[in-house]
């Protein structure tokens, strides 16, 4: 069934590309064998209408027009060859290698098909890529968040959307309304930036927190993307933890490597009775306490009290649970 | 995605055929296997595509009007396909995929000759025309790690061994390792080095942001023949049957563990708790994880791990008395 349809569409495309004249429906019906098999004119016309739309959806510039200035009502069809064909472009072997690497970025993502097809088209000139300069390098970005596909399409087509969103630590899910402007992968996670209709403000949403289907609620083009918004900076600003406090920690020598990398001041172990004293900035006492509890007896909080208490509470909870 | 990309649809296949024809026309006699590989399909599927092309052509559909496809000797020849011998211009998704991918690569310092990257981008944007517009709305951030990446690539190019000072956060350790590099991989915005680790005597994946110091040694790299690259598409974590079986009970606040780590089985318990089973070669990282989960997870198995967690917590609390 699909094979028959592919064959029919391919014959239609070839037929409309080979003509300079506009072809009438009747001419097309005779020229494409699969249409000639249609039992009735009605059946043919229905089929042709659908095919025409699908071919256009593929990006093929199928035009309507008339060959004669006197009989304008006689509508004909053709594909504009100049608009159909990829502009003449020739890539050098090393450029094709870079393009290959760029297309493989999407290998495990929903754009894998378009990426490899694009590469194929650019290789049509017959030049082979020279990968030597990029040997041993591989790239991947994944789009495993279920909401990616729908949000990507909404961003591309500039359509407003609505989706259930899980915010904060509480598992409360609220339906949100968004005019999406851009979609960003930041530290391996996807985010969408846009105008939040509920808050009437610019907002960033994390795709993995979207708790259900994303529905488009408007026509393509309904979203105006303001000029000059740096989507990535928006995400970075929302995601990056701002240092809100500093803690003094005692850390066993050789331990707490990650804390040492972040610390602003380090004492010498000798003065502290075998412990190293560090000063480390943190964004949120509770999140920081979670990290510190993981070190067990290797890290002790001196101050502030909020972090110290949170760590003690967490360690007690571990004891109670075991 | 456009309708054309619905897998298995007639338009998806047509898109492939229209991209395939110009590629084959300019490479007469290309081996069937190589072409199939290039199109990301099986040889059987490629033959089916060629059979379909063979019966299509310009109006009239007399033998001379049809596309001439030959593949009997295992090499593909394609002629008489003039109307579709030029590729269809890039669609929005196609242009976007390459442009966004290229921009991400351009951010990696030292990955490639900057001038070549800019040249490629300029040509690509010109070829894409209007289809390039939407690419400004999608962005993939990639971390730098210039020094470690440059060293890894030098070692790969020259076939040399690397010495790494590598930080293992789950064990809170800095380790010294000699590694024979196999490849560098950019995965979800992070760089990894895969190589034969002489300390572990096995293939290991190293996150470049955890490389604290790196040195390209004069020694030639010797990756053993039995060393195989990990299938990254299955995820970054792998476990082996010889590993310890660990059973954890998770409260709702700790459910993310089941999504984040490769668990073998998940069972639902009353009160929204989960029972998860996983395998681990080294349970030290689990001890750290359970402490971090601060009472929202319990170790049911193995008992040694459960006791280790309890002892660590008890010892830590003693410092606050």
Domains of chain B: 3-84 (1.10.10), 92-137 (no CATH), 146-234 (2.30.30), 244-318 (3.30.70)
Based on the fold, state whether residues A159 and A213 are members of the same structural domain: yes
CB contact under 8 A, A319 and B317: yes
B117/A98 touch (CB, cutoff 8 Å), yes or no? yes
A117 and A52 in a common domain: no
Put simply, whether B58 touches A (Cβ < 8 Å) is: yes
Consecutive H or E run containing A49: helix A41-57
Has residue A143 been placed in a domain? no
List the one residue out of A55, A44, A45, A39 whose CA is nearest residue A6. A55
Q: Which residues of A touch B52 (CB under 8 A)?
A: 3, 6-7, 10
Looking at every residue in chain A, the average pLDDT score rounds to: 88
| Identity of the residue in A117, A134, A139 whose CB atom sits nearest the CB atom of B16 | A117
- Among partner residues B119, B129, B141, which is closest to A185 by beta-carbon distance? B141
Residues A221, A300, single domain; the answer is: no
Q: Please name the residue of chain B whose CA is at the shortest distance from the CA of residue A226.
A: B137
Cα separation values, A216 from A154, B3, B136, Å: 7, 16, 21
| Chain A residues with beta carbon closer than 8 angstroms to that of B129 | 87
End of a domain among A216, A239, A262? A239
Whether residues A300 and A270 fall in one domain:
yes
DSSP A141: -
Determine, for residues B319 and A126 on separate chains, whether the beta-carbon distance falls below 8 Å. no
Residue A140 belongs to a domain: no
What is the reported pLDDT for A267? 66
Helix (H) or strand (E) holding B202, with range, is strand B202-207
Return averaged pLDDT per consecutive 10 residues of chain B, 321 residues in all. 62 92 94 92 93 87 84 92 92 93 84 83 92 90 79 89 88 88 84 91 88 91 84 61 82 82 83 87 84 92 91 93 80
In whole angstroms, what is the distance from residue A45 CA to residue A86 CA?
30
Tell me if A34 is assigned to some domain: yes
Tell whether A212 is covered by a domain: yes
- Determine the residue among A17, A102, A258 to mutate to test chain B binding: the one whose Cβ has the most chain B Cβ atoms within 10 Å: A102
Closest partner residue to B88 (CB to CB) among A54, A59, A321 is A59
Contact call for residues B173 and A125 (beta carbons, < 8 A)? no
Q: What is the pLDDT of residues B98-146, one digit of tens each?
A: 999 999 888 877 777 778 889 999 999 999 988 888 899 999 887 767 7
Judgement on whether residues A301 and A263 belong to the same structural domain of the protein: yes
* Whether residue A217 is found in the same domain as residue A250: no
Report d(CA B290, CA B72) in Å as an integer: 62
Cis bond before residue B302 (omega within 30° of 0): yes
Inter-chain touch A181–B184, beta carbons under 8 Å: no
Angle, alpha carbons A33-A38-A44 (nearest 5°): 100
For residue A149, with 0-12 CB atoms within 10 Å meaning exposed, 13-18 middle and 19 or more buried, which class applies?
middle
Q: Is the same domain home to A193 and A271?
A: no
For residue A142, tell me if it sits in a domain. Answer: no
| Partner residue facing B87 (CB), from A86, A98, A311 | A86
- Can you give the pLDDT at residue B30? 95
Q: Who wins on pLDDT, A284 or A214?
A: A214
Residue A70 forms part of a structural domain: yes
- A108 with B233: Cβ contact below 8 A: yes
- Quick one: pLDDT at residue B18? 94
Give which of B141, B176, B181, B259 to mutate to test A binding, by max A Cβ within 10 Å. Answer: B141
A232 vs B131, B139, B319: nearest CB: B139
pLDDT bracket for residue A77 (50, 70, 90): very high
Indicate yes or no: CB of A297 within 8 angstroms of CB of B294: no
Interface A-B, measured as beta-carbon pairs within 8 A, has a size of 359
The answer to whether residues A251 and A315 belong to one domain is yes
- Main-chain dihedrals φ then ψ at residue A181, nearest 5 degrees: -105, -40
- Among the partner-chain residues A54, A136, A318, the one whose CB lies closest to the CB of B295 is A318
Contact A102 B98 (CB under 8 A): yes
Among the candidates A191, A212, A239, a domain finishes at A239
Range of the domain at A58: 2-84
User: Looking at the structure, do residues A313 and A267 belong to the same domain, yes or no?
Assistant: yes
pTM for the full predicted model: 0.77
Taking an 8 Å cut-off on Cβ atoms, the answer to whether B90 and A86 are in contact is yes
Look at chain A and report how many structural domains it folds into: 4
Write out the two tokens for A227.
Answer: 């000029």
Higher pLDDT, B306 or A169: B306
Beta-bridged to residue A162, according to DSSP, are A177, A215
A274: left (phi over 0), alpha (psi -120 to 50) or beta: left
Q: Report the pLDDT averaged over residues A79-95.
A: 91
B96 in contact with A at a CB cutoff of 8 Å? yes
From residue A288, how far is each of A247, A291, A315, B260, B294 by CA, in Å? 10, 5, 14, 20, 12
- Helix, strand, or coil here: A303? strand
Closest CA–CA distance from residue A107 to any residue of chain B (Å) = 9
CATH number at residue A21: 1.10.10
Band the pLDDT of A47: cuts 50, 70, 90: very high
Q: What is the CATH number of the domain that holds A218?
A: 2.30.30
- B79 contacts B27 by C-beta, under 8 angstroms: no
Domain boundary pick from A208, A239, A270: A239
B144 shares contact with chain A (CB less than 8 Å): no
Residues A220 and A158: beta-carbon distance below 8 Å:
yes
Name the phi and psi angles at A215, rounded to 5: -115, 135
Q: Is residue A271 part of a domain?
A: yes
Contact B188, B140 (CB under 8 A): no
* Residue A232 sits in the same domain as residue A253: no
- Residue A233: CB atoms within 10 A of its CB come to 11
Indicate the residue of A7, A60, A138 with minimum beta-carbon distance to B186: A138
Q: Enter the tokens of residue A311.
A: 């760590």
The average pLDDT across A3-14 equals 93
Decide if A186 contacts B189 (C-beta within 8 A): yes
Mean pLDDT of the region A247-256: 89
Assess if residue A200 is contained within a domain: yes
- List CB contacts (< 8 A) between B291 and chain A: 293-296, 315, 318
Residue A148: per-residue pLDDT: 93
Mutate to test the interface with A, among B6, B7, B8, B11 (most CBs of A within 10 A): B11
- Which runs of E-coded beta strand occur in chain A? 62-65, 76-79, 137-140, 161-166, 173-186, 189-196, 201-206, 215-216, 245-251, 265-266, 276-282, 299-303
Say whether residue B289 is in contact with chain A using an 8 A CB cutoff. yes
State residue A268's pLDDT score.
59
Best B59, B118, B190, B196 member to test A by mutation, with max A CBs in 10 Å, is: B59
Structure tokens at B250: 């998770």
Segment A317-321 mean pLDDT: 90
Q: Please tell me which residue of chain A has the smallest CA distance to B132.
A: A156
Chain-chain contact of A184 with B129 (C-beta, under 8 angstroms): no
According to the model, what pLDDT value does residue B1 have?
47
Same domain, A215 and A259: no
Contacts of A115 in chain B (CB under 8 A): 94, 97-98, 101
């Amino acid at each position: 069934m699909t094979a028959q349809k592919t064959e029919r569409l391919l014959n239609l495309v070839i037929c409309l590309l080979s003509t300079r004249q506009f072809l009438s429906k009747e001419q097309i019906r005779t020229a494409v064998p699969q249409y000639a098999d249609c039992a009735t004119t009605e059946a043919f016309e229905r089929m042709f209408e659908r095919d025409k739309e699908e071919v256009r959806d593929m990006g093929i510039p199928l035009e309507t027009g008339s060959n004669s200035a006197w009989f304008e009502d006689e509508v004909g069809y053709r594909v504009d060859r100049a608009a159909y064909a990829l502009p003449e472009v020739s890539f050098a072997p090393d450029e094709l290698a870079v393009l290959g690497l760029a297309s493989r970025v999407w290998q495990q993502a929903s754009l894998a098909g378009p990426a490899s097809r694009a590469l194929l088209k650019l290789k049509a000139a017959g030049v082979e890529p020279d990968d030597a300069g990029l040997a041993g390098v591989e790239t991947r970005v994944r789009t495993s968040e279920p909401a990616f596909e729908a949000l990507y399409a909404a961003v591309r087509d500039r359509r407003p959307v609505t989706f259930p969103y899980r915010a904060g630590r509480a598992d409360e899910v609220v339906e949100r309304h968004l005019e999406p402007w851009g979609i960003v992968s930041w530290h391996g996670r996807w985010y969408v930036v846009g105008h939040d209709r509920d808050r009437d403000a610019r907002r960033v949403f994390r795709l993995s927190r979207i708790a259900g289907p994303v529905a488009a609620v408007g026509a393509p083009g309904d979203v105006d993307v303001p000029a000059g918004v740096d989507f990535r900076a928006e995400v970075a600003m929302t995601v990056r933890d701002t240092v809100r406090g500093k803690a003094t920690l005692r850390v066993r020598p050789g331990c707490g490597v990650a804390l040492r990398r972040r610390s602003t001041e380090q004492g010498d172990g000798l003065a502290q009775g075998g412990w190293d004293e560090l000063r480390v900035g943190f964004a949120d006492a509770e999140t920081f306490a979670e990290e510190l509890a993981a070190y067990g007896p290797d890290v002790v909080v001196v101050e502030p009290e909020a972090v110290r208490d949170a760590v003690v509470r967490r360690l007690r909870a571990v004891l109670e649970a075991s | 995605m456009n309708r054309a990309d619905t897998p298995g649809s007639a338009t998806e296949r047509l898109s492939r055929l229209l991209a395939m024809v110009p590629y084959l026309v300019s490479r007469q006699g290309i081996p069937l296997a190589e072409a199939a590989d290039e199109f990301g399909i099986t040889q059987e599927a490629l033959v089916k595509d060629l059979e379909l092309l063979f019966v299509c052509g310009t109006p009239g559909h007399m033998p001379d009007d049809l596309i001439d496809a030959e593949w009997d000797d295992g090499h593909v020849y394609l002629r008489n396909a003039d109307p579709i011998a030029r590729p269809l211009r890039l669609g929005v998704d196609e242009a976007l995929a390459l442009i966004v991918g290229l921009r991400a690569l351009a951010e990696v310092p030292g990955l490639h000759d900057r001038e070549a990257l800019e040249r490629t981008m300029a040509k690509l944007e010109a070829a894409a025309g209007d289809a390039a517009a939407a690419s400004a709305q999608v962005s993939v951030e990639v971390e730098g790690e210039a020094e470690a990446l440059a060293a890894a690539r030098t070692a790969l190019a020259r076939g040399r061994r690397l010495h790494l000072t590598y930080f293992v956060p789950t064990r809170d350790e800095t380790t010294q390792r000699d590694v024979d590099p196999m490849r560098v991989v950019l995965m979800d915005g992070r760089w990894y080095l895969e190589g034969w680790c002489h300390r572990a005597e096995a293939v290991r994946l190293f996150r470049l942001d955890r490389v604290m110091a790196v040195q390209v040694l004069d020694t030639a790299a010797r990756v053993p023949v039995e060393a195989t690259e990990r299938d990254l598409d299955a995820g970054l974590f792998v476990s082996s049957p010889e590993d310890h079986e660990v059973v954890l009970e998770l409260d709702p606040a700790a459910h993310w563990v089941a999504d984040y780590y490769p668990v073998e089985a998940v069972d639902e318990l009353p009160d929204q708790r989960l029972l998860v089973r996983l395998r681990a070669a080294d349970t030290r990282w689990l001890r750290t994880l359970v402490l971090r989960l601060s009472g929202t997870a319990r170790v049911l198995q193995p008992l040694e791990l459960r006791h280790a967690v309890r002892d660590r917590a008890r010892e830590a609390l003693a410092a606050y008395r």
